[in-house]
């Protein structure tokens, strides 16, 4: 699928030719009866509010009528879990259940994990002798009949296992990225990220690059932001 390298973006703009292997070339029209009335208005309202992700979760849960929220957290983010749980309860009136990744207290030795991998990772991060248990986290929430589950900093792979076994829909609330303060997208927006990913050839070429990539929608958003600041 060529979406990452597509410049015309005809699926979004409605103009231009569809690239080879474009998924829109083999389009299946589905008339869903499960479309929630008013959802598009809900999304638009949140975009205009420019809310953070935690409060966007609250808005979404309230809109959908979800009351019981499960949070599958990493043991290394216990403080973040505590603050987020308080926020969801205080600002959203939600019933929040939380299960940390070491639930079940399964020893790695009993699973055949070698001693060299029981205390620290190869990169030096402390992980302890107790194994992570994303399946167990999902099963606890399944038994509790949560309406919506959230992933809070589970390791890559553990998050997908949790999502696979969760009966309730799952939202990624916070992703783990030890090198970038748990904000993996941050590397994409700076000068070094631009050069590392070859988006800009040099500091001198940055403005030229931006001018060639600027789209009408970008100009519209910039004008809207400037007008908003003047009010």
Domains of the chain, earliest start first: 1-30 (no CATH), 67-184 (3.40.50), 188-231 (no CATH)
- Which pLDDT value is given to residue 8? 79
Residue 72 main-chain phi, psi, to 5 deg: -95, 110
Between 3-17, 73-87, 113-127, 194-208, the lowest mean confidence (pLDDT) is in 194-208
From the list 9, 2, 42, 5, the residue with the least C-alpha distance to 218 is 9
Task: State how far the Cα of 195 lies from the Cα of 176, in Å rounded to an integer.
Answer: 24
Tell me: pLDDT of 139 over 50: yes
Give the model confidence (pLDDT) of 19-42 as tens digits.
Answer: 888 888 776 665 555 556 677 777
Per-residue pLDDT band for 132 (boundaries 50, 70, 90) equals very high
Per-residue pLDDT band for 79 (boundaries 50, 70, 90) equals very high
Between 37-51, 122-136, 148-162, the lowest mean confidence (pLDDT) is in 37-51
Per the prediction, the chain carries an average pLDDT of 82
- Which pLDDT value is given to residue 53? 92
Residue 172 main-chain phi, psi, to 5 deg: -80, 110
117 near 109, Cβ under 8 Å?
Answer: no
- 3-class DSSP state of 65: coil
- Cα–Cα–Cα angle for 34, 38, 44, nearest 5°? 120
- Which pLDDT value is given to residue 203? 46
Q: Give the helix ranges, DSSP H, for the chain.
A: 10-13, 39-49, 53-64, 78-92, 134-144, 158-165, 186-189, 191-196, 206-213, 216-230
Q: What percent of the chain has pLDDT over 70?
A: 74
- Better-scored residue on pLDDT, 199 or 48: 48
- Which pLDDT value is given to residue 155? 92
Across the range 47-59, mean pLDDT stands at 87
Give the model confidence (pLDDT) of 61-76 as tens digits.
Answer: 999 999 999 999 999 8
- Better-scored residue on pLDDT, 66 or 16: 66
Q: Could you tell me the strand order of the sheet in which 170-174 lies?
A: 95-100, 68-73, 148-152, 170-174
| Max mean pLDDT range (73-87, 105-119, 120-134, 199-213) | 73-87
- Which pLDDT value is given to residue 202? 47
pTM above 0.85, yes or no: no
Number of H helices, E strands in the chain: 10, 4
């Amino acid at each position: 699928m060529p979406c990452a390298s597509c410049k015309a973006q005809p699926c979004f703009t409605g103009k231009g030719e569809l690239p080879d292997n474009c998924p829109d070339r083999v389009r299946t029209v589905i008339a869903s009866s499960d479309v929630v009335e008013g959802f598009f208005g809900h999304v638009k309202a949140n975009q205009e509010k420019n809310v953070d992700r935690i409060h966007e979760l609250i808005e979404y849960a309230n809109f959908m009528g979800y009351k019981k929220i499960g949070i599958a957290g990493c043991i290394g983010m216990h403080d973040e879990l505590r603050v987020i749980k308080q926020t969801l309860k205080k600002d959203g009136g939600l019933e929040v259940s939380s299960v940390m990744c070491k639930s079940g207290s399964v020893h790695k030795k009993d699973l055949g994990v070698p001693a060299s991998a029981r205390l620290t990772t190869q990169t030096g991060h402390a992980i302890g002798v107790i194994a992570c248990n994303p399946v167990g986290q999902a099963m606890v929430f399944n038994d509790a009949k949560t309406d919506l589950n959230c992933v809070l900093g589970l390791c890559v792979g553990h998050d997908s296992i949790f999502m696979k076994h969760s009966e309730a829909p799952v939202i990624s609330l916070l992703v783990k990225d030890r090198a970038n303060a748990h904000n993996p997208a941050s590397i994409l927006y700076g000068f070094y990220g631009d050069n590392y990913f070859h988006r800009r050839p040099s500091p001198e070429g940055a403005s030229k690059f931006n001018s060639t990539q600027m789209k009408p929608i970008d100009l519209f958003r910039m004008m809207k932001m400037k007008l908003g600041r003047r009010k």
